[in-house]
Amino acid sequence: MNIGDGTRAVRAGLPDPVKYEPTLPGPVFAAHYHLPGEPTGPYTYGRDENPTWTHLERAISELEAPGEPVETVVFASGMAAISAVAFSQLRAGDAMVLPDDGYQALPLLRERLEAYGVTVRTAPTAADAQLRVLEGARLLWIETPSNPGLDVCDIRRLVKEAHAAGALVAVDNTLATPLGQRPLELGADFSVASDTKGMTGHGDILLGHVTSGNPELAAGVRRWRKVVGAIPGPMEAWLAHRSLATLQLRVDRQCAGALILARALEARADVDGLRYPGLPGDPSYRIASQQMRRFGSVVSFVLPDREWAERFLDGLRLVDDATSFGGVRSTAERRGRWGGDAVPEGFIRFSVGAEDPEDLVADVLRALDEAAS
């Protein structure tokens, strides 16, 4: 059936209706299931499978690749999902290519992989530079738009070259969400995300997922979850599924707000290095428009120095000074406070929530004016 994103989001993963049962069945809390006789699936032991995960996994699959026979495996966090792909696919002696400007825990992943004898090479996201270090790699890891720099690479092009070189491709789709970008349609082998961010959107749960159109690859990831036990709680999985119903509403509102904020910041002399992939003129705009359907909720920019940035963050009334992004309540932070990202001291990562854009812009412009004086 040809339906829109909003319709798909509200119905995604719902089981067939059963009289007297809720539309979305409640969380199933079970360490084990009643299992007389031969111990065969689908539900035997709680670390292996749970009906609440099954509903959520079907929902995410429908969003990641509508109408396609793909499989999703949900995890306790985004890092659990990322680790599952890397550690289920790589062996000692393999090589993996990572972005050097991606999520800040990727260097920790690198350290672990190297300790197990995997060679890791890095290159920037921009200008498809990872292609230059692809030779002989088994797995190419892409993060686009990259976090926090918001550079974009050409997924179709990287997939084509990687497959020709015998490498699998995984895309970290956290920032875009499946409504912003569908990596599997662009040829990737895995779409991976932290559902802690825009996917669930309320800043109250940690979760992650891996989706693949290749049943063998998906089975490897599922087996890894069983081995490591990085399983989501049923309550988190159910809350995530409930949250997906509003995904299109949230993402549309947040993307519209992000563009309005970016336009307002464009005019400011105290704002430098403004980035938003949906802003015509942004270095990411051309490729982003070819592969993204929505441009995300994150805007980044640079204020003159650290103290200036701190005054700005202190002055905001509608925006929490907090890390993470993609939530219905706007957040902003001075990214340099963590160390690890190669960003200037005054670099601000701003996540646009679902507030009225005119209220948000007024708050930001007032806080900027106060920070300047």
Ligand X SMILES: *Cc1c(COP(=O)(O)O)cnc(C)c1O
Q: Which residues bind ligand X (CB under 6 A)?
A: 77-79, 103, 143, 147, 172, 174-175, 194, 196-197, 206, 208
* Shortest distance in whole angstroms from residue 197 CB to ligand X: 6
Contacts of 371 (CB under 8 A, 6+ apart): 270, 303, 308, 309, 311, 312, 315
Tell me the C-alpha distance between 12 and 185, whole Å. Answer: 18
On whether the CB atoms of residues 174 and 78 are closer than 8 A, the answer is: yes
CB closer to ligand X out of 130 and 196: 196
Tell me the C-alpha distance between 175 and 298, whole Å. Answer: 8
* Shortest distance in whole angstroms from residue 295 CB to ligand X: 15
CB closer to ligand X out of 61 and 351: 351
Tokens of 217: 């690859």
* Shortest distance in whole angstroms from residue 10 CB to ligand X: 24
CB closer to ligand X out of 192 and 316: 192
Q: Which helix or strand (DSSP H or E) is residue 321 part of? A: strand 320-321
On whether the CB atoms of residues 331 and 307 are closer than 8 A, the answer is: no
Q: Which helix or strand (DSSP H or E) is residue 167 part of? A: none
How far separated are the first and last CA of the chain, in Å rounded? Answer: 57
On whether the CB atoms of residues 266 and 274 are closer than 8 A, the answer is: yes
Nearest one of 182, 228, 175, 226 to 60, comparing CA atoms: 182
Contacts of 357 (CB under 8 A, 6+ apart): 256, 257, 260, 261
* Shortest distance in whole angstroms from residue 105 CB to ligand X: 6
CB closer to ligand X out of 152 and 368: 152
CB closer to ligand X out of 174 and 330: 174
Backbone phi and psi for residue 211, each to the nearest 5 degrees, phi listed first: -120, 140
Using DSSP's 3-state secondary structure scheme, residue 347 falls into strand
* Shortest distance in whole angstroms from residue 80 CB to ligand X: 7
CB closer to ligand X out of 327 and 346: 327
CB closer to ligand X out of 103 and 308: 103
CB closer to ligand X out of 124 and 357: 124
* Shortest distance in whole angstroms from residue 323 CB to ligand X: 9
Name the maximum alpha-carbon separation found in the chain. 75
* Shortest distance in whole angstroms from residue 211 CB to ligand X: 15
Q: Which helix or strand (DSSP H or E) is residue 349 part of? A: strand 347-351
R_g of the chain computed on alpha carbons:
21
The DSSP letter of residue 130 is G
CB closer to ligand X out of 150 and 279: 150
On whether the CB atoms of residues 13 and 66 are closer than 8 A, the answer is: no
* Shortest distance in whole angstroms from residue 232 CB to ligand X: 11
Backbone phi and psi for residue 360, each to the nearest 5 degrees, phi listed first: -65, -45
On whether the CB atoms of residues 140 and 162 are closer than 8 A, the answer is: yes
By beta carbon distance, the residue nearest ligand X is 78
* Shortest distance in whole angstroms from residue 12 CB to ligand X: 20
CB closer to ligand X out of 177 and 196: 196
* Shortest distance in whole angstroms from residue 1 CB to ligand X: 32
